[in-house]
Amino acid sequence: MPTFNTDTPKPGYVYDSSVDTWFPLAGIAVQTLDGLSDVVISSAASGQVLLYNGTNWVNTTETGDVSAVSAGTGITVTNGTGPIPSVAVDDTLVATTSNTMTLSNKTLTSPTVNTPTISGGTLVESVVRGLEEDVNVVTGTAVTGTVNFDLATASVWYYTANAGANHTLNFRHSSSTSLNDVLATGDAITAVWLNTNGGIAYYPNVIQIDGTTVTPKVPAAITSGNASSIDAYSFTIIKTASATFTVLETQTKFA
């Protein structure tokens, strides 16, 4: 094997300092990849790559950009760690109020809306329960004494029997909830009382809200009803402060 001075390298040769000798590259045996000390090849197959496992470089199947896929709500995953994960999305998900969802191109079938209520200034139940006005029709009862006008039942009350005496109308939300709790300051509600009279002209001569008497504001003083007619009394109740109301009352005769 020829020897060359280290100061004059020769192309095509490699210098071995341990023996101070230049060796021609053509004379060095070709090494296999598996011959490297940190490479372990097992059953190599087409399409595999080298992956460092922390100790050695080993051959493994190419996994692309996705190494693993985990299932979530409405998603089913098979072959999650394979080269091509299979992902199925459940398209029957139901929207709820407990999570944030965006619906598009969806049709609501027979939707239902809960009726809200208000208690202590907190929305709990609506006074007007629909787009149309509810009417509480009472038959066979002659009105006397105090009528608890529950707005949770209806905003229009109609007694078809002839009144038996002048009477008190006590406006409230219900037997368990006051109107003061239902209305916030600045809110208003309108109620209509239809009172039927025979030969004697009775009328609601005392107006109360939650059991406390108020004096309505009227276009003209109302001192009686109208005989042989139906009198329609309209009350606009405005809450101006806590337990403080302005009431506007009108009377209309229907013969």
**Spans of all domains in the chain:** 13-61, 69-102, 135-254
According to the model, what pLDDT value does residue 9 have? Answer: 66
Would the pTM count as exceeding 0.75? Answer: no
- The confidence score (pLDDT) of residue 227 equals 97
| Digitized pLDDT (tens) for each residue of the chain, 255 residues in all | 455 555 666 666 777 777 777 777 665 555 677 777 788 888 888 878 888 888 888 888 876 555 566 666 666 666 655 555 666 776 666 666 666 777 677 777 777 666 555 555 555 555 555 567 789 999 999 999 999 999 999 999 999 999 999 999 999 999 999 999 999 999 999 999 999 999 999 999 999 999 999 999 999 999 999 999 999 999 999 999 999 999 999 999 998
Q: What pLDDT sits at residue 217?
A: 97
List beta partners, residue 21. 16
pLDDT of res. 95: 63
pLDDT, residue 134, reads 86
Specify the pLDDT at position 137: 96
pLDDT of the residue at 39 = 84
Helix, strand, or coil (residue 34):
helix
Backbone phi, psi, residue 51, to 5°: -130, 130
| Tokens (6 digits) for 196 | 């039927």
Nearest to 230 by CA among 161, 151, 132, 140: 161
Q: Are strands 75-78 and 86-89 parallel, antiparallel or unpaired?
A: antiparallel
Give the number of other CB atoms < 10 A from CB of residue 245. Answer: 21
pLDDT at 67: 56
Label residue 204 exposed, middle or buried (CB < 10 Å: 0-12, 13-18, 19+).
Answer: buried
